[in-house]
Amino acid sequence: MYRNYLFSALFILGLSSCNPIGKELTVLELTPGEIASAENISLKKGDVVTIWYKILKSSKDEGSTFRVKYNIENKGQSILFDSLNVDAQDHVINSKKTKESYNESSSEGDSTIYYTVHEYETESKKFTVPKDGKYSFDFKLTERSNQSSFFGNKLSIVLRKS
Amino acid sequence: MMNLRSSFFKNLLLFGLLSVLFLTSCKRVVKTDLDEVSSADDIEEVSKAEYQQMMNIKVPLKTVLVDQRYSITIPENSDFEVSKMSSKEIVLGDIDLTKIDSSFLNVSLNNFFTRSEGLYSEEVYIVPGNDPKQFSIDDLKASNERIDAVYYEDENSVIYVQGDTFFTYSIHYDDMKKCFIFYKGEISWTQKYPKKQKLALSLLLVKHAKSLTAMDYPPVKFTSWNDYVQHMPVLEINWINGMFSKIEKELKFFLEPNEQSSPRTPGNYTFVKLFRPSPDELLSFYKGVDQLKANKISETDYYSRPEILRLDSQFSYQLREEMGCYVVIASSKNDDGSISRKETTVFCPVDYKGKTFILKTDKDLSPSDADFFVKMFSYFSKHYTINTTANP
């Protein structure tokens, strides 16, 4: 009987030791209006590269709507140009909320303002490598609305391979 | 008893098998090229062939008069600033100029690469002295500081490195004017480039240093972007190509109508802007060009245009067309009519797949920089890249 338990336990342990989200290839921090690139990444046919957003949002700043366009190249030829799905919330990992504060002085005296910083990663797109070779990934962040600013929030792209 | 023992061995076997499976299952070594970038960056002393190769590079030169007395020959694309006394301590190796008993001149050379990005710096010091043997090249190697390697040395020049900072020094004595001409070129450790590229650039600085006293040199004119690239150090070429690979991607993929982009350099500056103007903006740009050509600007045209070509009533303008580009020189005049400042801007329309873009230099250029950008932009407007290896 205990053999079954042992088997299950080892099976779960074995699974959890694998990296189910894939191996991290690179992290690119995005700046509005600038192209950020990961160049010359060697990939094999059939590799699946998953594009994740890593977002750091602060509740004290207005949320801004943004858009990320990306381009994947092999041997100087673009093989995919598209926009990332920014609203995807199906697969969220590494979510962490922290409470932070700052002091504000006013005529009524000092007060402490509390706000929450939410950091998480969310899966956006999967790209299956069509053939062996070196690939470049370019990303450009643009803000949709001019009213709000991206200031205070941070957005990075994490590329993982599985 | 046998049953128990057999069951025990079975379990042990199963346990062993699963352990092996568990230990090996997820061990995958994935090698990416990002790791390979940090390949060996060891460099050796400059060989005669490498030295000769760099000395054969064509550098357009001009001779300028400093302090109405000294003639020096500098690269044509360089400006210079002269200061008589320097408030900061100036030490060249073991020579402390501030302790020398005569006033000296400090001539700072500036070009497009040194001005904002500070890829390197070039300083010339003119120090009066009657004894030609007062200083030698050995004095320029600081004896009390650690020198990590000397990569090149001859009777009047030296290249050495301290940490990741490359120094190029040279010393000349002018018999006629009874003065020493010191040259100091520096590529800082903050510039993160391969040592090999830094050394090649340092060698070019040796050429600059050796040209300082040249009086007779052939006129050099580059006729194409390819020509420029052939006579530029790899570090500068890579720096420009790095910036333009972003401009290239903006042109081909990212830039949308009415947008503009000016990629940031590693030092967080901008130097080129790419516009994708609306039909109205484009029309307004060409109207401005026509007015400048005819030299007819009406009062209402000032400040009225969108950003691409904005005219300011404080300036008088000149426009010339070269290789599909427009070079606009704006001069501001003092009250007495003398020109106090000249700003040069290069524009180049680029047609790509039925869409019109405009390239524009983002920084105020000196007139001597214009040709470099005209050749660069003109090449880009034909090939949609400035990488000459693709279209030699």
Is the ipTM higher than 0.90? The answer is no
The pLDDT of residue A90 is above 60? yes
Span(s) in chain B for CATH 3.40.1000: 48-211
What is the per-residue pLDDT for B32?
43
* Percentage of chain A modeled with pLDDT above 90: 28
The pLDDT of residue A40 is above 70? yes
Most B CBs within 10 A among A37, A41, A42, hence the mutation to make, goes to A42
Point out the residue among B22, B33, B254 whose CB comes nearest to the CB of A35. B254
Q: Against a cut of 0.90, is the pTM above it? A: no
* Percentage of chain A modeled with pLDDT above 70: 75
3-state secondary structure at position A50:
strand
Comparing alpha-carbon positions, the chain B residue that sits nearest to A26 is B34
3-state secondary structure at position B299:
helix
* Percentage of chain B modeled with pLDDT above 90: 43
Transcribe A59-114 into DSSP letters. Answer: TTSPP--EEEEEEEEETTEEEEEEE--SS--SSEEEEEEEEEEEEEEETTEEEEEE
Q: Indicate the burial class of B378 (C-beta count within 10 angstroms; 0-12, 13-18, 19 or more).
A: buried
Most B CBs within 10 A among A68, A138, A143, hence the mutation to make, goes to A138
**Running along chain B, 392 residues long, what does each successive block of 10 average in pLDDT?**
61 64 48 43 80 89 91 92 75 78 85 86 91 86 80 92 92 91 93 90 94 91 92 91 92 92 87 93 90 78 71 84 94 77 91 96 83 95 88 60
Of B269, B274, B271, B248, give the one whose Cα is nearest residue B259.
B274
**CATH code for the domain defined by B48-211:** 3.40.1000
What is the per-residue pLDDT for B206?
95
Task: With beta carbons under 8 A apart, name residues in chain A contacting B26.
Answer: 14, 17-19
For the ranges A80-84, A156-160, B140-144, B345-349, the maximum mean pLDDT occurs at B345-349
Yes or no, beta carbons of B22 and A18 under 8 Å apart: no
Comparing alpha-carbon positions, the chain A residue that sits nearest to B261 is A33
pLDDT, tens digit, 9 for 90 and up, residues B63-113: 999 988 899 999 998 989 998 866 567 778 888 877 776 788 899 999 888
Point out the residue among B22, B263, B390 whose CB comes nearest to the CB of A35. B263
Yes or no, beta carbons of A81 and B14 under 8 Å apart: no
To 10 degrees, what angle do helices B48-55 and B195-211 make?
A: 60
CATH of A21-161, one of 2.60.120, 2.40.128, 3.10.450, 2.30.30: 2.60.120
Question: pLDDT higher for A107 or B246?
Answer: B246
What is the per-residue pLDDT for B374?
96
